[in-house]
Structure 1
Amino acid sequence: MSHTFKFPHLKAVPLEKAYRLITHGPTVLVSAQDQQHTDVMAAAWACALEFQPAKVTVVLDKSTKTRDIIERSGFFALQVPTRKQLKMVHAVGNMSLYAAPEKLRQSGVELFQFESYDHIPVVQGCSAWLLCKLIPEPHNQQQHDLFIGEVIAAYADDRVFRDGHWYFHEVSDDWKSIHHVAGGHFYTIGEPVSVNDKV
C-alpha cells in the first residue's frame, strides 16, 4: 500500500472541523481490515455525532463482511467518494466479500494508508477521509445496526476542501459528491446557495 507522500493534495483536517466532511449527506465508503481480511462497502446512512471529541455514526447491516471486520479490529474509515467513482461505489455496495473474495479487485478499488495509520485502509481517489476508532456499543450495534466511531484523524483533498469548507463549485463535476436515493439512482451535489443571496 502507498503513503501520503505520493498524494500532495491530501491535507490534514482539524478534528473540530471533521464533521463538515459529511454534513452534506454524501454516500460514503466504509473501509476496514483485520488480521485476515480487508473490505470496502458503500453506506448511505452516515452522519456526524459530536464536535469534540469528533464522533460519527454509520449504519452497517449484519449481512456485511465490513461490519464483522470492524467489530474484530476496532477501527474503520469513512470516505467521501466522487462522481467519477460512481460505478465502483455501486459495485462495492452490491457485492459481498462473503460471496466474492475478489470483490475489491473486481470493483476496481485502489487502497492506500495514511502514515501512522497503517491499520486502516483507505480508498484512493476520494475527496475526504475520516479515520475512526470504534466506540463499542453492543446494544446499538445489535438492535439498530448503529456504529459509533471517534474520529482520530481526518484528511481532505485541498482541491475541493480547504480551510474548513467545500469548494465543489470550483471543480469539475467529476469531483462532486454522490448521494444515493434507491435502486442504483444517485444525485450529485448541487449549486451553492446562501441565506445572504438575493432571490
Structure 2
Amino acid sequence: MTKNISLLHSYRLLNHGSTTVITSAHAGQRNIMAAAWVCALDFNPPKVTVVIDSKTYTRELMEAEGTFAINLPCVKQIEMVKKVGGISGRDLPGTDKFVEYGIETFAAQEISAPLVKDCVAWLECKIIPEPHNQNTYDLFIAEVVAAHADERVFSDGRWHFEGHDELRTIHHVAGGVFYATGQQC
C-alpha cells in the first residue's frame, strides 16, 4: 500500500509536527532513533531540517554516508518509538536496534538507509553540507530525493486518517507522553 509521492507534495508529510524515527546506514552498519525536531523547510527542491545530537550513533552514520531517512511512525508503533529512543545503537555490540527489537525494514529507492515497515510515510534525504549549522546547532539541512506514503491515510497530497485510528501519526509532548493526530476540522 506504499505509494510514491510527488516531491512537490513531500513537505505535507511533515507539516503537522509528528514524531519521527530517523534511520541511517554506512559501511554495513545501520541505526534508528526517535526524533521530534524535524521540519519541512522548502518546496522545490523539497528540503527538510532535522536536529541530531552530535553524540548519537545515527549522526555518525548520517555524516559518513551523507544520507538518512525520515520515517513517520503511527499509533501502533509507539512502543517501538520508545524503545529506539531510549538506547544508543552503540550499546548493542554485535547487533543493532532493528534486530534487537524485531523492526522490519525495506529498501529505500535512492539511499542506503533502510525504511521502517508499517510506518505511514517515508522521506529519503541527502544532506546538504552546512558545517557551521551542523557543528554549532546540531542542525542538518537535507534535500528530499524520494518520498512515499501509505495510501490508506495519504493521497492526493492530503492526510486522511478517518477509519484508520491505528495509523494516525503520533506527537511526543515530553516525559514519554504521546498524542495521536486528531480529527480533521
Classify the TM-score, shorter chain. over 0.9
5+ residue gaps in structure 2? none
State the Cα RMSD in Å: 1.1
TM-score using structure 1 length: 0.89
Q: How does 1:1-199 map to 2 (within 5 A)?
A: 9-101=1-93, 102=95, 103-114=97-108, 116-117=109-110, 119-171=112-164, 173-193=165-185
For the residue of structure 2 that corresponds to 1:58, the secondary structure is strand
The answer (yes or no) to whether the contact 2:31–2:57 under 8 Å persists in 1 is yes
Q: 1:68 to 1:41 in 2, by over 3 A?
A: same
Consecutive aligned runs of 4 or more in structure 1 exceeding 4 Å deviation = none
5+ residue gaps in structure 1? 1-8, 194-199
Match of 1:6 in 2: none
The answer (yes or no) to whether the contact 2:74–2:168 under 8 Å persists in 1 is yes
The answer (yes or no) to whether the contact 2:110–2:145 under 8 Å persists in 1 is no
Q: Which of the two has greater strand per residue?
A: 2
Separation of aligned partners in 2, 1:136 and 1:36: 23
Separation of aligned partners in 2, 1:108 and 1:184: 21
Q: Aligned residues, how many?
A: 183
Q: Percent identity?
A: 48
Greater C-alpha Rg:
1
Q: Over residues 171-194 of structure 1, what are the superposed CA-to-partner deviations in whole Å (9 max), with x where a residue is unaligned?
A: 2x210111001121111111111x
The answer (yes or no) to whether the contact 1:160–1:170 under 8 Å persists in 2 is no
Separation of aligned partners in 1, 2:111 and 2:145: 13
